[in-house]
Amino acid sequence: MKRLISENPRKVLKAKAKFEKELKVKVSIKEKEIHIDGKPEDEYYAEKIVDAINLGFPIEKAFLLKEDEFVLEILNIKDYTKRKDLGMIKARIIGTKGKTLRVLSELTKCYFQVKDSQVGIIGDVDNIKNAGEAVVSIIKGSKHSKVYNRIEKHKPEPIFDLGLKKK
């Protein structure tokens, strides 16, 4: 049994039926505590999904984490800069009307969420490295255009399916 603390248990409560149906876990919520009971691997996926929901990801995006190809990476802005004006750094990451996050999302095929001093990234294992490096570059002060060019140059090559992968 896993015990998690959630800042927003209402969102998890809304998705309780989906947790129990898709992940086959029993979810009980008392105030800010969430108890998850099930198989260890199902509990692990549920924990990652709750982490994503706590970061502010929509429930549909958070449930992508139950698939093997998708992972959640959480970057702490304070780990990459000594600047005290986190608002300015967050503004650089988000961009005017969310344009920077939109462009990063299109180029890396990942989903981004900024909350407090953290940036959450949900994406394919192959693309998440580029997405993380791009966010760190923006935090450190690189020009947006240079970050975009670097992403385009270092895109992972698509792998052709030989029919060996489980569906």
Residue 165 lies in a domain: no
Residues 94, 143 within the same domain: yes
Other beta carbons within 10 angstroms of residue 5's beta carbon come to 11
pLDDT value of position 11: 85
Residues 6, 49 within the same domain: yes
Residues 45, 102 within the same domain: no
Residues 49, 79 within the same domain: no
Q: Which residues of the chain have pLDDT under 50?
A: none
- Laid out side by side, the sheet with 2-5 consists of 2-5, 33-37, 26-30
Q: How many domains does the chain have?
A: 2
pLDDT value of position 166: 64
Domain harbouring 124, CATH code: 3.30.1370.10
- Would residue 5 be called left, alpha or beta, if left means φ above 0 and alpha means ψ between -120 and 50 degrees? beta
Q: 70 exposed, middle or buried (CB, 10 Å; 0-12, 13-18, 19+)? A: buried
Residues 42, 14 within the same domain: yes
pLDDT value of position 119: 95
Q: In terms of residue numbers, what domain contains 119?
A: 70-153
Residue 131 lies in a domain: yes
pLDDT value of position 19: 84
Instruction: Please calculate the CA angle 78-57-43 and round it to the nearest 5 degrees.
Output: 95
CA distances from 112 to 85, 93, 96, 105 (A): 21, 10, 15, 7
The neighbouring-strand residues paired with 4 are: 34
Residues 81, 54 within the same domain: no
pTM of the model: 0.86
Residue 122 lies in a domain: yes
pLDDT value of position 79: 94
- Write the DSSP symbol of residue 158: P
